[in-house]
Amino acid sequence: MYDVLIIGSGAAGLSLALSLPHSCKIAILSKNIVTEGSTFYAQGGISAVLDKSDTKKSHIKDTLDAGAGLCKEDIVRFTVSKGKASIKWLQDAGVPFTYHDNNQKLHLTREGGHSHRRVAHADDASGEAIETTLVRQIKKRDNISLFEHHIAIDFVTTRKLRLKGNRCVGAYVLDKKAKKVKLIKAKFTVIATGGASKVYLYTSNPDGSSGDGIAMAWRAGCRIGNMEFMQFHPTCLYHPHAKSSLISEAVRGEGGRLLLPDGTRFMKNFDPRKELAPRDIVARAIDHEMKRLGIDNVFLDISHKPADFIKKHFPNIYKNCMKFGYDMTKEPIPVVPAAHYTCGGVMVNKQGQTDIKNLYCIGEASFTGLHGANRMASNSLLECIVFGHATSKSISKKLGKKYSMPDIPSWDESRVTDSDERVVINHNWDEIRRFMWDYVGIVRTTKRLQRAQHRIQTLLQEIDDYYSNFRITSDLIELRNLSIVAQLIIESALLRPESRGLHYTLDYPKPDPKLESVDTILDPITL
């Protein structure tokens, strides 16, 4: 048995583990290798007020503006106020941030929605630098056990055991290599599984972003909020083999221009901030131009900057583009929007506590209220560190309390068989991602959403029948979770008859003032 079970090995889960007392026995689950998550692939950086010309008030205002009236201001203030301390904590951990030439002052870049340069970064591979540094620190701690290639199936709660109350006491977990299900008991369980962008056909996220924690929390009885707000990153490299190749927003922050095939800039027609408008505006503008002109992509051009500048600031993006035959120092590169970030998630308080006792949620899987209807660039890693530390404080205060551990049955596979119909999983997975892209994507209509709603209800039944009859596999777990996340996004979108932030519908093209500050809350008891 463990004191704390952390499901997920990104910035949120690792910062929590490193902040808990050394006396605390901790298990961290990673469903692939420890670095194969969204944190590792984050390029831009982490936002914080670090320059004298900047202010917390300005960072708060920018975040609220990007969130289109749905950010919780107290959460925004709380998060922004912890920015400088979070950067210092990462520096102390050894994260190799990029500094000015004198090596004394952090180099700060600017991204969409920000009115100042306030994004600390490690060249254009900030997530990799943060992830690898934190993993290195984790491996020094003898109180932390790291389990790679382990995927959680479901939480164990006292309600499921037909006992009093609803307290989480651990989880059933599939060891992917041994192909066996384990029971891991824990006093406290933390969801740090990341987002759900793999529910869409085109995404910047790694394959593991299948919304596992959100779906598990829903099945356990947690409320889910604002799932209609799925962020599409405006610029992913367009190439048939360039899987998940994000082109950082910092490229636009450093002067990159969006162009049509004939070389015309178009962002001025959509927003006075042009390429530095928030992501929802830029993604919709690109989507509009692609549909208007019937083109497969637009172009991002920073070749007017000196080649040495580009290679210095974007070494990894430059190398990746060259791998696919594009020299960004000499020519525009083709880009398209792709699903990138889940702004909604499991409802939590300021300490990361969910509706279920001793079950916490942090990072992208959570709905804290920080991002509102649209996450501002580089606020996500900040949220991971801030709420990882806040959850650590909450759990630390409760560690001394005695919790009885009920008898929990082992995983029962006595009534299932090995499947000989893997094609069903592959087909359903592909169908969900395609109709989500076509019907619940960047631009929506009520009719499209209703079509998606009808289809997902049929698929949920098919997948549930399959889950009940065949032995569990990693692909089946992810498909089951993905189908639930798709349902949550569709139902949330149907409940918001307006366009706001990342949710844009042709049937209600303007925001409804009556819905400002109104969140879309789904309760498993009522849906």
Strand partners, 182: 173
In angstroms, the CA 429 to CA 423 distance is 10
Q: How far apart are CA 209 and CA 207, in angstroms?
A: 6
Report which of 147, 219, 175 is spatially closest to residue 473, judged by C-alpha positions.
Answer: 175
Spatial separation of the C-alpha atoms in residues 227 and 225, rounded to whole Å? 6
Neighbours of 330 (CB within 10 A): 9
Our separate counts of H helices and E strands in the chain read 15, 18
Dist CA 421 CA 425 (whole Å): 8
- CA–CA distance, 428 with 441 (Å, rounded to integer): 18
Catalytic residue among 118, 223, 279, 375: 279
Q: Interior CA angle at 82 toward 354 and 385, to 5°?
A: 55
Contact 419, 474 (CB under 8 A): no
The residues that bridge with 336 in the sheet, in sequence order, are 236
Round to whole Å and give the CA distance between 121 and 124.
7
287 touches 442 (CB < 8 A): yes
Burial of 423 per CB tally in 10 Å (0-12, 13-18, 19+): exposed
Q: Taking the CA atoms of the chain, what radius of gyration do you get in angstroms?
A: 22
Distance (Å, whole) CA 63 – CA 85: 19
Cα(471)–Cα(415) distance, integer angstroms: 9
In this structure, the strands spanning 345-347 and 366-367 are parallel
Neighbours of 360 (CB within 10 A): 28
347 exposure class (CB count in 10 Å sphere: 0-12, 13-18, 19+): buried
First to last CA, the chain: 34
**What is the CB neighbour count within 10 angstroms for residue 208?**
20
* Active-site annotation holds for 252: no
Residues with catalytic function = 279
